[in-house]
């Protein structure tokens, strides 16, 4: 049994609110949103993070950001994308995901 929570969400074993899906990735609302708009871009093929992912996949995911920002209504006021990577990066789910946050003025730095 796959114990990766995002693989289980992709397989439909755990419910999620999907805002976008194609053959390569899903985009879901974060279960604990840190901003009014907080979604996770998750590739369908399991890979741990930005270090292990194929550059072509990362390019594809980043290439979808503009379309998603428009769909979520944050393209004009602005937003942030984040890929927490590894333990020091605060990555808690070891399946690559890119956070897209917006809908309010976000603080910086995040730590
Ligand atoms: P990380 O800390 O690894 O960068 O982010 C993991 C994110 O996944 C967190 O923001 C967390 O709220 C979210 N998350 C964890 N489990 C679930 C889940 O079962 N469903 C959804 N929609 N989000 C989840
Ligand atoms: Zn996985």
Q: Which atom of ligand 1 is nearest to the CA of 28?
A: 22
Residue 108 in any domain: the answer is no
52-77 pLDDT tens trace: 999 999 999 999 999 999 999 999 99
Catalytic residue at 46?
no
In a domain, 17, yes or no: yes
Number of domains in the chain: 1
pTM for the predicted model, two decimal places: 0.97
Which structural domain range is residue 25 located in? Answer: 5-102
Would residue 54 count as lying in a domain? yes
Q: What is the pLDDT of residue 1?
A: 53
CA of 6, nearest ligand number: 2
Cα–Cα distance, 97 to 82 (Å, whole number)? 9
Ligand 1 contact via 32 beta carbon (within 6 Å) = yes
Using pLDDT thresholds of 50, 70 and 90, give the confidence band for residue 8: very high
CATH of the domain at 17: 3.30.428.10
Does any domain span residue 109?
A: no
Domain for residue 107, yes or no? no
CA of 98: how far to CAs of 1, 56, 71, in Å?
Answer: 25, 15, 16
Question: Does ligand 1 have an atom closer than 6 angstroms to the CB of 81?
Answer: no
- The CA 25 to ligand 2 mean position distance, Å, reads 12
SS3 sequence, 47-105? Answer: CCCCCCCCHHHHHHHHHCHHHHHHHHCCCCCCEEEECCCCCCCCCCCCCCCEEEEECCC
């Amino acid at each position: 049994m796959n114990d990766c929570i995002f693989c289980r969400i992709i397989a439909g074993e755990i419910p999620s609110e999907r805002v976008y899906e194609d053959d390569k990735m899903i985009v879901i609302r974060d279960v604990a949103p840190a901003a009014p708009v907080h979604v996770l871009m998750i590739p369908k093929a399991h890979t741990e993070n930005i270090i292990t992912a194929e550059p072509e996949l990362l390019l594809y995911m980043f290439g979808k950001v503009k379309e998603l920002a428009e769909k979520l209504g944050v393209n004009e006021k602005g937003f942030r994308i984040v890929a927490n990577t590894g333990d020091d990066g605060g990555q808690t789910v070891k399946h690559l995901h890119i956070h897209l946050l917006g809908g309010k003025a976000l603080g910086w730095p995040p730590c």
